[in-house]
Amino acid sequence: MKRYVLNKQVRLKYDKASDKYYAFCIDTGDHFNLNKTGFTILNILNEEKSLDEIVTLLSGDMIVDEKSVLSDTIQFLELSEKNGIIAYM
């Protein structure tokens, strides 16, 4: 089963003072602003979860249907892969 992993050069940060979430690539210096859900998804990837496992974890925290969570999660993961934040195992 294909699993998503956080790029080893990417660090996640939550700035409590500004209540902002970031992903930062230490190789390129690129940084990406995230919302809380995106930050949560990327943190889940540290646990090497499959797409189904990610959606199940997120669905429990949200008041939306699982189909919407799946669609939004796929879109976020595709964008994250395109930007070099994540990779596939």
The CATH number of residue 38's host domain is: 1.10.10.1150
Confidence band for 85, pLDDT divided at 50, 70 and 90: very high
37 within a domain of the structure (yes/no): yes
16 within a domain of the structure (yes/no): yes
For residue 38, the enclosing domain spans 4-84
- Average pLDDT of the chain, as a whole number: 89
- What is the per-residue pLDDT for 32? 96
- CA nearest neighbour of 41 among 53, 24, 32, 26: 53
The C-alpha atoms of residue 82 and residue 43 are separated, in whole angstroms, by 18
76 within a domain of the structure (yes/no): yes
Cβ contacts of 37 within 8 Å, gap of 6 or more: 58, 72, 76
58 within a domain of the structure (yes/no): yes
**Global confidence as pTM:** 0.88
- Report pLDDT digits (tens) over 32-71: 999 999 999 999 988 878 888 888 888 876 677 888 899 9
8 within a domain of the structure (yes/no): yes
Q: What total of structural domains would you count in the chain?
A: 1
- What is the per-residue pLDDT for 1? 60
Torsion angles phi and psi, residue 87, rounded to 5? -140, 170
89 within a domain of the structure (yes/no): no
Please indicate whether residue 1 or residue 36 has the higher confidence score (pLDDT): 36
